Chains A and B, each alone.
Chain A
Amino acid sequence: MPSSCANFFSRYVSGLAVEVTSLRPGVAKAGAGSHARDREMRRYDGACWALDISRARTLVASLAVGNRPAGWVERLLRETQIVEANANAVHLFGAYAGRDRMLGQPILAYWPAEGSFILADLLISAIITGSSTLRIRSLVLRDPKLTAWLSDDESQSDTLFLAILANPVDDRSFWSLRSSEERYNNLIHHLPFAFLEVDSRAQDERFDQLRRDGQTDISAYLAERPDDILEARKIVRITNVNQSAVTLFGARDADQLIGPVDPLFAASPDSARRVMEHHFAGDRRHSEIMKLRTFDGRLLDVSLSVIYPTRPEQLDITLIMLEDITERLRTEAQLRQLQTDFSRAARISMLGELTSSIAHEVNQPLSAILTYAETSLRWLSRDEPNLEKVTQLTTRISDSARHAGEIVQRIRGMTARHVPRMALVDLNDIVDEALLFVRHEIEARSISLSVRLRRDLPSVFGDRVQLQQVVVNLLVNGIQAIQQKHASAGAIELSTDLDDHDAVTFTIRDNGPGIAEEDFNRVFNSFFTTKEEGMGIGLAICQSIIAAHGGAIGAANLPEGGARFWFSLPAGR
């Protein structure tokens, strides 16, 4: 037994670490039979088996002279029987059956298939030379060594001891760990999104050094040292990837991805910085959407999730998940475009119904301009031109022209193709502006209009034009409802307020016929209308606009007759 094996073996029993300081298998000389064997095995805190190799003697003799018959590995392990196993051997390999089930069984039944060659090799070597030790790799054991030696006891010449000397990574049995490892591998390799295991220990060391140096503001630190970010992209390495990652990156194979994480951040250098900042901060995870340049040159939108390791996990594995959301973002953009086009079409259609109102609004200043201008000419054509009057009238012409320009601008704002622009807006202003489009519809029908706008209303975050459209639509809806009733004294009440949940609300009440019971669930549906003219998209548009603003919209009948429509929008801060 190499002396290096001494002093390193510790295990966990009920959470208690036991340090085994000496592991010299060859020293057990005393005793005979099972008594000696048991004593020898008791020297071990590691997993230890006593194996009977009597049945394998013939094969071993053949192997000893260099023969390697087909299937010799399996045969050797089948012919080698377990005669004793210590608690740890049972614990580590015994699965659920336990020690009793293990005894009398070939070692083949318990040894992991992929390690059978290694074990077979070790056994032969030990049988021939007396003892043998191998370093092995294991998923569940840290720095494991496998050692085998023949009993010194003459009476037990067919007894071979086998021990695993290592620190168990985990207290669970080998089988459950193996199956857990298997599940993990299956999971990541079949995940529908790209999965990368990353070793960032080199960066951890740098961070540790920074912390020791008293650095706390990593953002400021990195801002001054962009090279450190580039360096981190080189020293932090991808160590494992799944097939989805290979596909996502357009890589030839997994090997092309193994190496520095640098390519991951080629198109999004800022993402690398943020990943580092969250890492330094000790965060558990970080997610963001970023651009990814693939090996075959495509530029993708991906959702990046980083899960940073924390103790007692293995600190060498940072998990990175990438999901290609290019298509999703494109679809969302198309959907937004459709909604934008649709609401614009609805606005144009709505304004079409309001042409006489709009003409009236524009005609007023134009009329004033014409009268002012002609009156000015009259003052000028007098024998003694009244220049003072002309100056005054010309000033008013320019005022009216500016006013006309503003009105045209507002109408154009409603019809122009525009990308919704979210900004802090005052709902009261929007109501005022919307009234421009319908004021004369209301006046023409002798509808009495009362407007109660709450002062000190917080701003809302929204698109001015679309919110105006909602208010105009609700107003037109109210006007048309009143018209349907053919009642003489039509009345509309508008109000804005702040509700109990700090949402800004707009309410419009009309004294029309109200909403028929059977129509309640579909007033906001597209193409639902009770009017002879009209497409029935107005209220549907209102609903989609308010929904896109994170608000709510609703309708109810008033007890005194008529209907109430309202919407609420979260107050923007």
Chain B
Amino acid sequence: MSETPLIAIVDDDEAVRDALLNLLQVEGLGAMGYASAAAFLGDPVSRSFDCVITDVRMDGMDGLELQRRVRSIDPLMPVIFVTAAIDDTTRIRAMTEGATAYFTKPVANAELMRELFLALRLRPGC
């Protein structure tokens, strides 16, 4: 892949968003953060992302709904959930609705990156 992959991070927690942005930066990926699903969907550049990492519970539209919206626009867009929600029903719903991966916070970088690179069809270390 010649271009640097671009990842969207949608999380209403500023620290989490900032931490993930830093992680992707050190991994050599491009990333942008959004404080809400609405902010992301409303951004004209939202279609140019290669993957969406989102929380489930957020003020306003939640992550599951965001996944549905994203899929309706781009059925192949990978969506990775990183959430502090610990209930299984949400995990199952997210996965049956086609989530690429579902992590419960706190998440180890290595696991997140492995799934992210898989989603981006890139091998780790690339």
Interface of A with B (CB < 8 Å)? 356, 359-361, 363-372, 374-375, 378-379, 389, 393, 396, 399-400, 403, 440, 443-444, 446
Q: Indicate whether B45 reaches chain A with its CB closer than 8 angstroms.
A: no
Interface residues on B, range: 20 to 34
* Chain B residue at minimum C-beta to C-beta distance from A449: B59
Is there contact, CB below 8 Å, between B18 and A368? yes
A393 to B26, CA, bound (A): 12
Is there contact, CB below 8 Å, between B84 and A368? no
- Chain B residue numbers with a CB within 8 Å of A365 are 15
Partner of A366, one of B18, B59, B105: B105
A426 to B107, CA, bound (A): 37
- Chain B residue numbers with a CB within 8 Å of A361 are 84
Q: Indicate whether B87 reaches chain A with its CB closer than 8 angstroms.
A: yes
Q: Indicate whether B57 reaches chain A with its CB closer than 8 angstroms.
A: yes
B90 to chain A, nearest CB (A): 8
B79 to chain A, nearest CB (A): 18
Per-residue A-contact encoding for B62-101, CB less than 8 Å = 1, 0 else: 1000000000000000000010111100000000000000
* Chain B residue at minimum C-beta to C-beta distance from A374: B109
- Chain B residue numbers with a CB within 8 Å of A364 are 13, 15-16, 84, 105
Q: Indicate whether B58 reaches chain A with its CB closer than 8 angstroms.
A: yes
Which residues of B1-45 have CB atoms within 8 Å of chain A's CB atoms? 13, 15-16, 18-20, 22-23, 26-27
Is there contact, CB below 8 Å, between A368 and B85? no
Q: Indicate whether B108 reaches chain A with its CB closer than 8 angstroms.
A: yes
Is there contact, CB below 8 Å, between B15 and A368? yes
**Would A356 and B87 be within 8 Å (CB), given that A363-B106, A375-B22, A444-B57 are in contact?**
yes
Is there contact, CB below 8 Å, between B26 and A371? no
A202 to B109, CA, bound (A): 88
10 pairs from A and B in contact (CB 8 Å cutoff) = A359-B84, A360-B57, A367-B19, A368-B13, A370-B109, A371-B106, A374-B108, A374-B109, A379-B26, A393-B19
Partner of B22, one of A359, A366, A393: A393
**Would A369 and B22 be within 8 Å (CB), given that A359-B84, A403-B15, A440-B57 are in contact?**
no
Is there contact, CB below 8 Å, between A443 and B106? no
Is there contact, CB below 8 Å, between B27 and A443? no
Classify the interface of chain A: helix, strand, loop or mixed.
Answer: helix
Is there contact, CB below 8 Å, between B57 and A368? no
- Chain B residue numbers with a CB within 8 Å of A367 are 13, 16, 19, 82, 84, 105-107
Interface of B with A (CB < 8 Å)? 13, 15-16, 18-20, 22-23, 26-27, 57-59, 62, 82, 84-87, 104-110
**Would A371 and B13 be within 8 Å (CB), given that A396-B19, A443-B57, A443-B58 are in contact?**
no
A367 to B20, CA, bound (A): 10
**Would A396 and B18 be within 8 Å (CB), given that A367-B82, A370-B107 are in contact?**
yes
A314 to B58, CA, bound (A): 80
B6 to chain A, nearest CB (A): 18
* Chain B residue at minimum C-beta to C-beta distance from A446: B62
A356 to B107, CA, bound (A): 17
A287 to chain B, nearest CB (A): 56
Since A375-B109, A378-B23, A396-B19 are in contact, a sample of 6 more A-B pairs with Cβ atoms closer than 8 Å, ordered by chain A residue number, is: A359-B84, A359-B86, A368-B16, A368-B18, A370-B19, A378-B26
Is there contact, CB below 8 Å, between A368 and B19? yes
